[in-house]
Structure formats: C-alpha cells, structure tokens
Amino acid sequence: MSDALTKQDLDHFARELRRLLGDATGTSDRIRRESLDMEGGGRDTQGDAGSDAEFEEVDLDALEVEGAVAEAAVAALRRVVDGTYGRCIECGVWIPRGRLEVVPYTARCVSCRAIAEGQP
C-alpha cells in the first residue's frame, strides 16, 4: 500500500505531466503541418494518392493517441491542483508511485483499471 505523495512528489509529477502535455501537443502540431504539406504537394499519380491516404490514416491514429494523452495529462494536472492526484478515482486507494512513474496521467489503480477495461 502506498502512502500519500509529498510536495516534492507532486512537483515532480506536475513537471512530468506538463512535459507529456507539451510533447503530445507538439507531436499533434507536427502531424498537422506535415498533413498540410502533403495536401499542397500537388501529387498527380495514383500511387502517390494511395500512399497519401495511408499516411493520412496513420496520422489520424497518431493524432487520436496524442489527443488522448494530452487530455489525460490535463485531467491529471487538475487532480494535482485539487489535491486528489495519486488516488484512484474509483476506489480512493493510493496508486503506487511506481505506477505513476510509468503512467503519470493514470487515474486508476491497477485493479480498478482492469475492471474498467473488462478484464478479470
């Protein structure tokens, strides 16, 4: 069972969450710029059109993932501010620091996450 996070812990995780948010936002911006560059490239062959469609699908998937990370990071930063960061939003137990180090934006303990995902 983990203990409450210290002020230094909260500062550490807040910095990490802001970094993740910046990375996710930067990646999303880069993907959007690259997509716009591809649209303006004037490709005129069928092969290029097919490749562009594949890249666009990959870009959309990447944007979705980056958007989810950004959204989760913002929610976690809100929990830092309101004093609930580090506690499972479902059962209220302290999330182990090791889990927070790996997934700092996590909102659930391992047990509650498994239940939410329908795992046994």
pLDDT for residue 11 = 97
Per-run averaged pLDDT (10 residues), the chain, 120 residues: 84 96 80 64 50 59 82 96 96 96 96 90
pLDDT for residue 43 = 47
Phi, psi of 112, rounded to the nearest 5 degrees: -70, -35
With a CB cutoff of 8 Å and minimum separation 6, the contacts of 110 are: 99
pLDDT for residue 72 = 96
CB 88 within 8 A of CB 68: no
pLDDT for residue 26 = 81
pLDDT for residue 39 = 58
pLDDT for residue 57 = 61
